[in-house]
A and B are shown apart, each in its own frame.
Chain A
Amino acid sequence: MDEKYDPQMQNHQMSTWFDELKRKLNHMDDAEVVEHRMGNCALVHLLYIKTLIDQERLNEAIIQPLHRCAGNSLSLSIINAKVSEILSIEDAEQKIMQGFILLNDSVNDQWLGVQLENSLGRAIESSQTETVIYGAKDSFSEQIDKNITILRRRLPITTLKTESFTVGSLSKTKVVLLYIDGLINPEFVSLARKKIESVNFDQFLDSAQLAAFIEDHHHTVFPQLLQTDRPDACAYALGEGKLTLLVSNSPFALIGPITFFHLFQSPEDYFLRWPVASFLRLIRYGSFIVSLTMIPFYVALTTFHYQMVPLPILFVLLESRSKLPFSPFVEGFFMIVTLEIIKEASLRMPTKTSQTLGVIGGIVIGQAAVEAGFSSKVLIVLMGISAIAFFLVPNYQMTKSMVLMQVLLLILASFLGLPGIVIGIIGILAHLHGLTSLGQPFFAPIAPFYGKDWIDLFIRGPLIWMKTRPGYLKPLRKWRQEMKK
C-alpha cells in the first residue's frame, strides 16, 4: 500500500474503525468478532470471516500465543505469522475479505492484519482439456499462488517477473502478469499492463473473460490469446519471449502474443521426434482444411459442378441423392446442426448418460437419417470424417469457431458453388491477415514474412536447428543458445 501514514489522523480514526467494520459485517453470519484478553489484561478484538480463514492456524498462530503473551506488544506475541499493519478502513475491508484476521491492538491503538486464508482447493491434477501421452502431467489449478509456484519451478531465474493487478469491482480477481525481463519485447508488457489497468467490469470468473478485454479485436471468431492449463506450454512461451497472464480462480492461463498457427500446435510437438511431430502437425492443418471445406465441397459439387466429379463417384452420388426431398444445402445444414446438438449435449450431460447419447446419436445420424430419406449415405460419411477432423485441432475454442466458418462456406457454396468457397476462403484469409494479437500481426510468419520462423510452422523442425527465438516477437535476446566464453 502506498498510502501515506499519518499517526494523528490514524489515532482519530482508530476509535471509529471498529464500529465501522462491525457495521459493514452486519448480516454476515460467517463474520465473527471475538474478544481476547492478553496476559496483562489488555483487550484484543479479532475480526474475521470464518469461512475464509483456516481455523486451526488461527488457534496455533494467534489464540494460543495471545494466551501465553505476557508482554505488551501484540505484534511481538504473534511472531510465527505474517503480520501487516492496517492503514485505512478500505484496506481493512479488503483484507478481511481476502482471509485476513484483523486484530485491534488497544494498547498501541493500532490495527494489525494476519494472513491466515483457507487454502482450500483441488490438488494438482493432469490436464483434462489438453491431454498428451508424453510430457509433464501437471496442470494449473484455481489457486493462483500454486500456479506461480509451478511456473517458477520450471523457470528458476530471477528475471521471471510477476506483476499483480486486481480487476473486477465485485470479484476483485487477482491477475498476475508474468514475463522474462531482458528477453521479452518491453512493448508487449507495457501494452498488456495498460490494457489490464484500463479494464472496467464487475466480475471475472475465468481468464477467457479477461481475454475479451485484452484482445485487440472483439468481433472475430479467432482467439487472439492462447488459453492453456499446461504449465509446460506457458514456460515454453515465456522462454520464447511471450507473456503469460494468470487469473485467480481460473486454471487457464493466457499466453500472448500468438499467431494463427499457434492454435494448431500442441506441447507434445516438442517431445516427439521431429519427423513424427511434423507429420502430425501437417495432418492437423490438413484436417482443418478438410473439416472446413468438405461439406461445402459436397454441396457445391452436387448443386453446380457435377462435371468435376469422377464418373465412378458420380455413380454413387446420384444413387444416394436420387430419392432425397431436400436440397444438398438443407441436407448439409441439417446434419451440421444435428451434429452440433449432439456434441453440445454430450458436454452438458452427466457422464453416466453419455453412453446413451452415443448410441442415440450414432443411430440418428448414421442410420435413421439415411433410412428415413433425410440424408444421403455419402453425406453421412463426409460428415463423420469432417466431425472427427474437427477434433484434431488442439485448441478447443478454435474447434468451436470452425463450425461457424464451415456454415459460412456452406452458405456461399450453396449460392455460388466453388467460386463461393474460394471467395469465402479468401475472405477468411484476408480477415486473418487483418488481425493482431497484442499489437503483433496474427498471420506472421507468413505475412509479414519471417523465413527463419518457418522451421517451427507447418513442420516442427529439429530442436538443434531452432537456434533463434521467433523473429515476429522481436525478443531482446534473439539467440536461444548461450554464448560460449
Chain B
Amino acid sequence: MALYKHYGLLVIVSLMWMAGCSSQYVENSRIEEIAPVVFWSVDKGTEGKLKISTLVPPLIQEKKRLLSKEVDLLKQGGKEFNLIYYQELKQGQLRMLLINEELAKKGGIEKLINTILVDPDISMRVYVLIVRGDFDEYIKNQLTKQENQDYFLYRMLKHYEEHNQGEMSIVNIHQFILKDPILPVFHSDKNNFNYVGTALFQKDKEVMVIQDMDDEIFQLLDNDHFLKVLAIPKLSISLGRVRSNVHMKLSRDYSSLSLHVGLNARIEEYQGEKNIQSEEQLEHLIHEIEVYLEEQTSELLKSMQRLKVDPLEVGTHSLKPFSKELTEEQWLEYWRNMKIDVDFDIKIQPLINVDR
C-alpha cells in the first residue's frame, strides 16, 4: 500500500512540475489534420481594423491560397481563418510576423507583439519584420512561381540571424520588448522583397529607418560587431572581415560621451589612386577611412539624439553601483544634449606586402 502512495505522490509532483510550463491537458494536434501557420502579415485595414493575411496550406503539396481578413483583434483573425479552411490553422509554428510600415508608423504594434508573446503555444523565436509596400501582392504573385516562398523566407531570415554576419538586423519577438527596439525593414512590391535597413522605434512608433552606410555602422556599433564587407565607394575601398570593439565612456555630468571604436579588418578591394603597398600612403588611406567613419557615425548619432532614441543603449552606462538610477525621461534629455566625441582606430591586417 505504501508503495502505491509513493508512486501516486511522485506522479502528482511530476504533473505539478510539468504544468508549471503549460497545461498538462494536451490538445489534439494530429499533424495531418492541422495546417501550421508559418507567418502572419498584419496591415492597416479599413475603419481602423487590422488586415491579417497568411498562406494555407503552408506546407503540404496542395495548391496554396492566400487568406486575408479584416478584423479588430489579431486572435479574432486566427479564429476566422479556421472557419474558411478545412484544416485547423494552428499558430504553434508561427515563425514570422510581418508588420506593414504604415501600421508601425502609426504605433500600437507593441500590443500585437504582446498578444503573440503571451500565447504559450507560440515560441519566443518569431522573427518580426517591417514591410514597406504590399506584401500580400508579392506573396500572391510568387505563389505561381515558387510555392514554398513563405518557408524560403523563413530560411533566409534564419540564415542571416545565425553567426551574426552583419548583413541584416534580424530581431526575434522577445528582443523587441527588452530595449529601445529596432526591427529590420524590407521593401516589397509585386516581384521583389529586399532588405532596406533598420527601423528605430520610439515608444512603439517607428521614427527612423537607417540604411546603407548608416546601417552598416549601426551593425558595427551594436548589433553584430562584425561586417563581412564594408564598402566605402567614396574612398574606393572595400574592407573585409571587419570586427569592432566598441568602448563608451560617459562624463560624470552626462554632458559628453566619448565613443572609441577599434576596427580590425583587411583590405579586400582598392580601386583608388594611392599605392597601398607603401606604408606611408597606406597610413594616409587608413586615416581617411577613420575620418570618414567618424563623420558618418557622428551624423548617425546626432540624428538619434534629435529623435530621442537610444538603440545603442548608451543609457546603461549611466548605471553605477550605489547611485540613483536616472528615469527614462531624464536620460533622454541628457542624451539629446550630449556632446559626442567619436574616435575610430583601424588596424589593417595582414601587412606583409607593405614596403616599409
Residues of A that sit less than 8 Å from B by CB = 302-307, 309, 311, 314-315, 317-319, 321-322, 324, 327-328, 416-417, 419, 422-423, 426-427, 430, 434
Contact with A along B6-19 (1 / 0, CB 8 A): 11001100110010
* CB-based nearest A residue for B11: A423
Please report the C-alpha to C-alpha distance between residue A317 and residue B26 in the assembled complex, in whole angstroms: 20
- Quote the shortest CB–CB distance from A358 to chain B (angstroms): 32
The answer on a CB contact under 8 Å between B28 and A311 is no
* B330 lies within 8 A of chain A by Cβ: no
A314 contacts across to B, CB distance below 8 A: 31, 36, 59, 93
Please report the C-alpha to C-alpha distance between residue A250 and residue B340 in the assembled complex, in whole angstroms: 90
Tell me the residues in window 65-93 of chain B with beta carbons closer than 8 Å to chain A beta carbons: 90, 92-93
The answer on a CB contact under 8 Å between B31 and A302 is yes
The answer on a CB contact under 8 Å between A427 and B7 is yes
User: Which among B28, B29, B154 has the greatest number of chain A C-beta atoms within 10 A?
Assistant: B29
- Quote the shortest CB–CB distance from A56 to chain B (angstroms): 61
Is chain A's binding surface mostly helix, strand, loop or mixed? Answer: helix
The answer on a CB contact under 8 Å between A306 and B14 is no
A-B contact count (CB 8 A): 76
Tell me the residues in window 24-53 of chain B with beta carbons closer than 8 Å to chain A beta carbons: 24, 26-32, 34, 36, 38
Please report the C-alpha to C-alpha distance between residue A124 and residue B148 in the assembled complex, in whole angstroms: 65
Please report the C-alpha to C-alpha distance between residue A303 and residue B28 in the assembled complex, in whole angstroms: 6
* CB-based nearest A residue for B32: A321
CB contact under 8 A between A426 and B26, given known A311-B93, A318-B59, A318-B60: no
CB contact under 8 A between A419 and B26, given known A322-B32, A324-B32: yes
* Sample (24) of A-B pairs whose CB atoms are under 8 Å apart: A304-B27, A305-B29, A306-B31, A306-B34, A306-B36, A306-B93, A307-B121, A309-B93, A311-B93, A314-B59, A314-B93, A315-B59, A315-B151, A318-B32, A319-B61, A322-B60, A324-B32, A328-B30, A416-B24, A417-B26, A423-B11, A426-B14, A427-B7, A430-B7
A319 contacts across to B, CB distance below 8 A: 59-61
- Quote the shortest CB–CB distance from A316 to chain B (angstroms): 9
The answer on a CB contact under 8 Å between B30 and A303 is yes
CB contact under 8 A between A327 and B59, given known A311-B38, A423-B14: no
- Quote the shortest CB–CB distance from B241 to chain A (angstroms): 30
Please report the C-alpha to C-alpha distance between residue A324 and residue B92 in the assembled complex, in whole angstroms: 23
Tell me the residues in window 114-128 of chain B with beta carbons closer than 8 Å to chain A beta carbons: 121-123
* B3 lies within 8 A of chain A by Cβ: yes
The contact of B26 among A322, A327, A416, by CB within 8 Å, is A416
Please report the C-alpha to C-alpha distance between residue A416 and residue B11 in the assembled complex, in whole angstroms: 13
* B95 lies within 8 A of chain A by Cβ: yes
The answer on a CB contact under 8 Å between A426 and B29 is no
A422 contacts across to B, CB distance below 8 A: 14, 18
A328 contacts across to B, CB distance below 8 A: 30
- Quote the shortest CB–CB distance from B126 to chain A (angstroms): 12
Please report the C-alpha to C-alpha distance between residue A416 and residue B28 in the assembled complex, in whole angstroms: 10
B154 contacts across to A, CB distance below 8 A: 311
Given contacts A306-B34, A416-B24, 15 further A-B contacts (CB under 8 A): A302-B30, A306-B93, A311-B38, A311-B93, A317-B31, A318-B32, A318-B59, A318-B60, A319-B59, A321-B32, A328-B30, A419-B18, A423-B15, A426-B10, A430-B6
Please report the C-alpha to C-alpha distance between residue A402 and residue B238 in the assembled complex, in whole angstroms: 62
Please report the C-alpha to C-alpha distance between residue A309 and residue B34 in the assembled complex, in whole angstroms: 14
A307 contacts across to B, CB distance below 8 A: 29, 90, 92-93, 121-123
- Quote the shortest CB–CB distance from A294 to chain B (angstroms): 17
* CB-based nearest B residue for A433: B6
The answer on a CB contact under 8 Å between A434 and B90 is no
The answer on a CB contact under 8 Å between A311 and B14 is no
- Quote the shortest CB–CB distance from B202 to chain A (angstroms): 33
